[in-house]
A and B are shown apart, each in its own frame.
Chain A
Amino acid sequence: MADSFRASPIGNGRSSLRGPRLAIEEQDWTPVTYLEGAPAGRSLPTAGRFARLGSAVLLPTGPDIYLLIGAHSDAAAIPESFDLAVDQSDAWSQLAIIGPEAAAVLAKGSALDLHPRHFPTGACAAAGFARLRAVLWRSDAERFDLLIGRSHARSLWEWLADATLEYGCAGSADDGRQ
């Protein structure tokens, strides 16, 4: 979906930081819908747990507030059932943090307890990260996904590039610009 009308806030195309046991991958532009309300008759994920709807995920991020990330036939029908749906596809940058060192690098910026017992696959949280506000969820044992506000994305990317140096991570060409 990368096109000039859906430009990345970090670099040209998908940026990445890759090392032997850790990779951070910027994700392609994807639809993100902010949803608010408590629709009757629809089972919604409880606080701290996200739901999968095909390739989309539904993340609770506040009282009666959800983010729907990704496109899916069922997901498309969801916004109508809420009181309010607002497009936030361009408001966020999504990063995947993958590998055995993923939790270690996240612990440099997050006060969340990411131990599998406390933050298993399926867990999510809207919380501070590296002095910014982020949404974090665990997609599987060694993969976390993180949403960061678009205007902060490059700043966070630079922070991550620095924080992952000790894991031998090197960036793709487009990071670290002004």
Chain B
Amino acid sequence: MIQPFRNPSGGLVRRDEPLRFTFNGRSYRGFGGDSLASALLANGVRVVGRSFKYHRPRGVFGLGAEEPNALVQLGVGARTEPNTKSTLVELYDGLVASSQNCWPSVDFDLGAVAGAFSRLLPAGFYYKTFKWPPGWWIKYEPFIRGMAGTGRCSQEPDPDRYEHCHAHCDVLVVGGGPAGLAAALAAGRRGERVILADEQSCLGGMLMAGGDLAWADRAIAALQAMPDVRLIPRAVVFGYYDHNQLGIVERVADHRPPRPGEARQRLWHVHAGRVVLATGAHERPIAFGNNDLPGVMLASAARGYVNRFAVRPGSAAVVFTNNDSAYDAALDLALNGVAIKCVVDARDAPGAAAEKAAASDIEVIAGSEVVEARGSRRVAGAVIAGRKGGAMRMIGCDLICVSGGWNPAVHLHAQARGRPRFDVRIGAFVPGPPVQAEVSVGAARGVFDHAGCIADGTAAGEGGRLADRPAEAALEPIWTVSARGGRRKRFIDLQNDVTDADIGLAIREGYRSVEHVKRYTTLGMGTDQGKTSNMLGFAQIAHALGADISAVGTTTFRPPYAPVTLGALAGSEGGRFFLPNRRTAMHDCHVAAGAAMLQSGPWLRPQSYPRAGESLDDAARREARAVRESVGIVDVSTLGKVEIAGRDAAEFLERVYINRWRNLPMGRCRYGVMLREDGVVFDDGTTTRIGERRYFMTTTTAQAPLVMRRLEYYRRVLWPDLDLRIVNVTDQWAAVAVAGPMSRRLLARVVEALDVDTAALPHMGYGEGRFGGRTARVFRISFSGDLAYEIYVPAGAGPALWSALCEAGVADGVTPYGVDALNTLRIEKGHVAGAELDGRATAADLGLGRMIRADGDFIGRRSLGRPGLGDPARWQLVGLVPEDGATALPHGAKIVDDEPDRYLGELTSTAWSPMLRMPIALALVSAGRDRHGQRLYATSPLAGRIVPVRVRDPHFFDPEGKRLHG
């Protein structure tokens, strides 16, 4: 199969590497080194897609990231990707792509009827549907959304890998054209660490489209020989952030299958000492009638296709320009087999370039413009006329190359908080003074000649000053041709179908700010972010307002410079790597025992240990009953653990807890409550005096990191004068609570060198023993309300401790219990936990008000006098039971009385109590302590349930606490 528009020789494509690809179901051939766009052009495919709003046929318009038209749906199945710029897709064997926004086909698209109604669809019509007729927009909306748009997302999980990595350099060079290569060379020769990133598959930039490629090859070879220079092709620098941090997405394996374990795309976080922006410039078009027809192309793009890819983008071309650069395109096209019908130059007196073209027998028509393109689905001719009047005439052609000048790519400079300024000499914005350590060089600051680019790059690479910019050859500042062409649409923004008339309408309707006109018309809001359209749009706004372009200004340049896949942003932090998990030392013991593991914050904890045929709830009830009847063991390693040491340790505890600590004897534990500065309960736990000036604090699992952070803050910022050390030892200790009437016997069998008699180890006592030759800290503390101990051993001995307890407890029927049973037991005892410590409750609300000591200050004390905290209607902790003694209470239920709209409180924790043999709950209820005995309702509108409940004391089981001393 031949490629009818491919030249037999020339270009940078590898003819010995033939590739097959499929576009819209048809098979084509291309070569290694092709882009999808160049391969389509080589095969004569001119209509690539349909436009966003009017479904007009569109073809390849640009050469790179500026492409507004030739967006394709790339790939199939889970890997399909919408809105891919075919100009940046590297061709590979087996590539499959299709057109977007057309049905049934790109050549016959029913949606094109939208074009016939275009007078009904002006700028802002979508917003207008919201206003009138009232309520109708909801009918239009699905239709409008169905008609408009681009590609389709895959609904399947992304099968590819993505990753992030960090990189550091002295100099980051953005762009691998002549200025960028020169900068990298100069910096590299000084021994600096250099990263050079370029969005194309090979370096060279616009030199590949025409220029001294041999120089580029020498430069690249020299850079590759430098050990501290890293060249990253296929890498878009998409964001420039504070502290000279930049984001780069590297397309590692978009053009070939990834190697095992390799990411498809890699997001680099670059930390740069300084940044050289050699981002080049984007050629801009001039808007004329039907300027969106396939066959209308940027002059530089046409030049790039013949020179780099040996592809003729047409057979006969009209070149329309207002500056010299398009003459290079005209000459190169002519050399490579494209007939140049004429160059239409908007200037009255084109200079030397025109003379050179004329010398090559190219007709130059000065002082003229292309008024409109003719043709149905592709260019068939150009209508030209003198700018100052005169007859129009049609010239037959299938290609119109257009150049309206060049816009320096100031995006990254502006993202780095630079403010571009309008330069009338080139009719575009150029970088202003830099705010961060960055400098723009070459075309990115309006220096377009090869020697100037190299001088710029070299100076910037050496960290020196750039030469003054030469006055550019004048261009004729035109953006949109005169309206003589009649009613043909003149597109400002090809991607979003915004015409000069749309912008005029926005101004007539009262919009003045460029940011508002942008949003009303959608100018520059496509995936190309207006790279070819914004400048034309700004000029059109200025024209309509009768203002200078410099007064109109630019819209805001925000990251990303080019679209970034969500996969690259997420990196590897999806699925099982979404959150790093914490596991206790006994994790494998739980899994081996058949535990259902529960994600609890970052921790994985056993929920319960169901036996064959047992539900999770059944298991939790069995486990809770075992604790009451014999003995259970539970992994409590997740509790926060802090060692506090120093002369002022007791003073510190008095300041952070509401109760008394100075009188805590050696070897005794005490329950403590901490407040926030606003008087609300922050956390609770026990603290034990394990040495003369040494304390061991435990915190709740959930709040442990926050408590640690606060204690550090108090110590280092508020009270640096205290003699105090604070160490987080959470990971050092594995902890098992042994609870139940048989717990003492079990403890004695497992922990050596410990006197377990009540005299030696009373309730809230502490002792130290040995386990496996290692220290065992034993605290007689009970969360369950039964006789219980917490055994702490160094985490490495945790699994052995768990196994030893299981083995030694066989005769007593020792039962491992999980979080559900732990919760059941503490609800039976009315002990508060995370659900009750909800960031709103005070100690008094929770029935802990009597703990507050009478004298001395502590964090939160001064807030306790606030009137709101003494309000008798505050929510207070109560117990609830269903009135019928049987109906389960809905989790998270609201508590109401006979007036269902009066919201009295909420149910915080509920369980089925094996001891009371009925559902029980804790709740926070307005004036709850005065309501004991009242009948209220637990309602869950979500579950559609209303359960009558009786309010009672929250201590359901053993309220006298006799069992603690068993």
Contacts and interface: CB of A to CB of B under 8 A. Distances in A.
A79 B193 CA distance: 42
Interface residues of B, number: 53
Contacts of A110: 166
Interface string A157-178: 0110011111110000000011
Contact of A130 (B168, B580, B591): B580
Interface stretch (A42-50, A69-77, A82-90, A137-145): A82-90
A88 B729 CA distance: 7
A6 B771 CA distance: 12
B645 interface: yes
B774 A5 contact: yes
Interface in A145-163: 149-152, 154-156, 158-159, 162-163
Interface stretch (A51-59, A94-102, A111-119): A111-119
Describe B's contact surface by its main secondary structure.
mixed
Nearest to A8: B796
B572 A150 contact: no
A131 B796 contact: no
B260 interface: yes
Given A7-B797, A107-B166, A162-B577, A150 B259 contact: no
A129 to B, nearest CB: 10
B572 to A, nearest CB: 7
Contacts of B732: 86-91, 150
Contacts of B269: 111
Contacts of B588: 177
Nearest to A84: B725
Given A111-B166, A131-B580, A86 B643 contact: yes
Given A131-B580, A156-B580, A107 B167 contact: yes
A158 B585 contact: no
Interface in B550-598: 572-573, 576-577, 580-585, 587-588, 591, 597
Nearest to A92: B731
A26 to B, nearest CB: 13
B795 A108 contact: no
B729 A7 contact: no
Contact of A90 (B168, B771, B794): B794
B800 interface: yes
Most buried by B among A131, A163, A166: A166
A11 B799 CA distance: 12
B392 interface: no
B731 A151 contact: yes
Contacts of A158: 576-577
Contacts of A86: 643, 727, 729, 732
A57 to B, nearest CB: 19
A159 B727 contact: no
How many A residues touch the partner, as a band? 35 or more
B797 A5 contact: yes
Contacts of A152: 580-582
B883 interface: no
Contacts of A92: 731
B777 to A, nearest CB: 12
Given A9-B795, A84-B645, A113-B271, A91 B729 contact: yes
A155 B583 contact: yes
B798 interface: yes
B583 A154 contact: yes
A130 B730 CA distance: 20
B796 A113 contact: no
A167 B263 CA distance: 12
B796 A90 contact: yes
B799 A4 contact: yes
Interface in B751-785: 771-774
A9 B262 CA distance: 28
A34 interface: yes
B259 A6 contact: no
B574 to A, nearest CB: 11
Contacts of B646: 83-84
Nearest to B590: A178
| Most chain A Cβ neighbours within 10 Å, of B167, B583, B588, B597 | B583
B165 A108 contact: yes
A167 B163 CA distance: 14
Contacts of A156: 580
A150 B795 contact: yes
Interface string B721-762: 000010101111110000000000000000000000000000
Contact of A83 (B581, B603, B637, B725): B725
B797 A6 contact: yes
B510 interface: no
A174 B645 CA distance: 39
Contacts of A36: 725, 727
A152 B703 CA distance: 17
B670 interface: no
B261 interface: yes
Contacts of A6: 794, 796-797
B800 A115 contact: no
A66 interface: no
Interface in B341-363: none
Given A150-B731, A158-B576, A167-B261, A178 B795 contact: no
B729 A151 contact: no
Nearest to A150: B731
B164 interface: yes
B516 to A, nearest CB: 39
Contacts of A162: 261, 572, 577
Nearest to B572: A162
B800 A7 contact: yes
Contact of B261 (A83, A90, A165): A165
A67 to B, nearest CB: 11
A167 B260 CA distance: 9
A163 B643 contact: no
Given A9-B585, A92-B731, A108-B164, A166 B794 contact: no
A91 B731 contact: yes
Nearest to B586: A7
B168 A7 contact: no
Given A4-B800, A88-B729, A165-B260, A151 B583 contact: yes
Contact of A5 (B193, B604, B800): B800
A28 B31 CA distance: 55
B716 to A, nearest CB: 8
Nearest to B588: A177
Contacts of A166: 259-263
B39 to A, nearest CB: 30
Contacts of A7: 585, 796-800
A89 B794 contact: yes
Nearest to A2: B796
Contact of A9 (B583, B597, B604): B583
Contacts of B167: 107
Contacts of A167: 261
Interface string A119-139: 000000000001110000000
A84 B649 CA distance: 13
A82 to B, nearest CB: 10
A166 B162 CA distance: 12
16 contacts: A5-B773, A9-B585, A37-B725, A83-B646, A83-B725, A86-B729, A87-B732, A91-B731, A108-B164, A130-B580, A150-B732, A151-B584, A154-B583, A159-B577, A159-B580, A177-B588
Given A5-B800, A83-B646, A84-B725, 12 more contacts: A5-B771, A5-B772, A9-B585, A36-B725, A86-B729, A88-B732, A89-B794, A90-B795, A131-B580, A151-B637, A159-B572, A165-B260
Interface of B: 163-168, 193, 259-263, 269, 271, 572-573, 576-577, 580-585, 587-588, 591, 597, 603-604, 637, 643, 645-646, 725, 727, 729-734, 771-774, 794-800
Interface of A: 4-9, 29, 34, 36-37, 83-84, 86-92, 104, 107-108, 110-113, 115, 118, 130-132, 149-152, 154-156, 158-159, 162-168, 177-178
Top 5 nearest A-B pairs (CB, nearest first) are A165-B261, A5-B772, A166-B261, A91-B732, A113-B168
